[in-house]
Amino acid sequence: MKFIVSSTYLLKQLQVLGGVINNSNTLPILDNFLFELNKTELTISASDLETTMSSTINVESDSEGSVAIPAKLLLDTLKTFPEQPLTFIVEENNTVEISSNHGKYALAYANGEEFPKAVALENPSSTTLSGDVLATAISKTIFAAGNDDLRPVMSGVFFQFSTDNLTFVATDAHKLVKYSRSDVSANETAEFIMPKKPLNLLKGILAGSDDDVLIEYNDSNAKFTFDGSVLICRLIDGKYPNYEAVIPKENPNKLTIDRTQFLNSVKRVSIFSNKTTHQIRLKIAGAELNISAEDIDYSNKAEERLTCDYQGDDMQIGFNSRFLSEMLGNLNASDVQLEMSLPNRAGILTPIDGLDEGENVTMLVMPVMLNN
């Protein structure tokens, strides 16, 4: 088996696929890329058993076969080459020989047959959406997903497809983000929970992409197909919590404020907050928002006053500053609205502008108890 391929083109594909490979694998074969050659089409795959991704590229060749080549060794080698054609020859003595303009390099390979096969989805449902829409939906929600192994359903992003819209939800029980698009819809209603790792891969590849992504899914797996690449992953098993129930409906107190100014104040004041609770206090009266924090153990405290537009009763409410600044930093609006009902009920943060047609973002942040 022999093929010729551009060094930088191959490296670009492998770096994307390399994101699938874990640092420590239970099966040694998973430390390899699988190369499957069919005349001029070379399909390269990487897997960690949960997620499998493959890309198909064009090469110069007239042979067929499959080998598993050590990923780290190959990536480290390719990174050092300037753009040039490389010739790969699979020898009988279990080595792959790579020839460049200046030298030859031999790597031991494993039998391609040992590489785990990707799951085939049986009678899947499907929907198609633009790559950029999917990447935006992931980046707007994934930061709010939890890291708790004991509650695996909360460690992923909940995809909810209907014939009217697509909704993406993530929560870790302290904060929640619901992102929906009414300008795209699915042929039928479906819901599933996607793990973080494949979502981070997709987010990186699809940001700013105009390619359409075909999403196919059944009860246990999802498959994303786009521009010569396929990503298949196992879904998180379980029932997603009823997130609609935790979003308070009646919120008479509405605060409207410049997002950047609010975010910078929260970041500054939070430097003086308690290092374990990260608690900041918002005190709102009339058109003035007072943001303060205090770390009693070290006698540190800070306070800032901002002007805002506020309708509602005077109130004081405490938040974890990390959650608040994460959420504000994830919006690209110039003004945001914070709706509240009581100091012990969740606050709802929504952007006032900066959204595309059909886009909708609702963020919810749980308050912390203030010790007066």
pLDDT tens track for 153-191? 999 999 999 999 999 999 999 999 999 999 999 888 999
Q: Which two tokens stand for residue 271?
A: 């430097």
Which of 76, 94, 114 is the last residue in one of the domains? Answer: 114
Whether 208 is in a domain gets the answer yes
pLDDT in tens, 291-337: 999 999 999 999 999 999 999 999 999 999 999 999 999 999 999 99
Report the distance separating Cα 159 and Cα 352, nearest Å. 24
pTM: 0.92
370 DSSP 8-state letter: -
**223 shares a domain with 146:** yes
Reported as a pLDDT band with limits 50, 70 and 90, residue 10 is very high
Whether 209 is in a domain gets the answer yes
CA distances for 24 relative to 28, 200, 318, angstroms: 9, 19, 42
Whether 16 is in a domain gets the answer yes
Which of 218, 244, 270 is the last residue in one of the domains? Answer: 244
In this prediction, residue 149 carries a pLDDT of: 86
Whether 56 is in a domain gets the answer yes
**110 shares a domain with 162:** no
CB 218 within 8 A of CB 121: yes
Alpha helices in the chain (DSSP H): 7-18, 71-78, 131-141, 196-206, 259-270, 321-329
Q: Which two tokens stand for residue 254?
A: 């509405």
Q: For residue 195, give its domain range.
A: 125-244
Q: What is the DSSP string of 100-156?
A: -SS-EEEEE-EEGGGSPPPPPPSS-EEEEEEHHHHHHHHHHHGGGS---TTSGGGGE
246 DSSP 8-state letter: G
**240 shares a domain with 259:** no
Nearest to 201 by CA among 50, 360, 331, 8: 50
Reported as a pLDDT band with limits 50, 70 and 90, residue 208 is confident
**79 shares a domain with 147:** no
Nearest to 54 by CA among 311, 264, 301, 227: 227
Whether 120 is in a domain gets the answer no
* HSE toward the beta carbon, residue 51, CA cutoff 13 A: 19
Phi, psi (deg, nearest 5) at residue 143: -65, -20
CA distances for 67 relative to 16, 43, 96, 332, angstroms: 19, 11, 9, 46
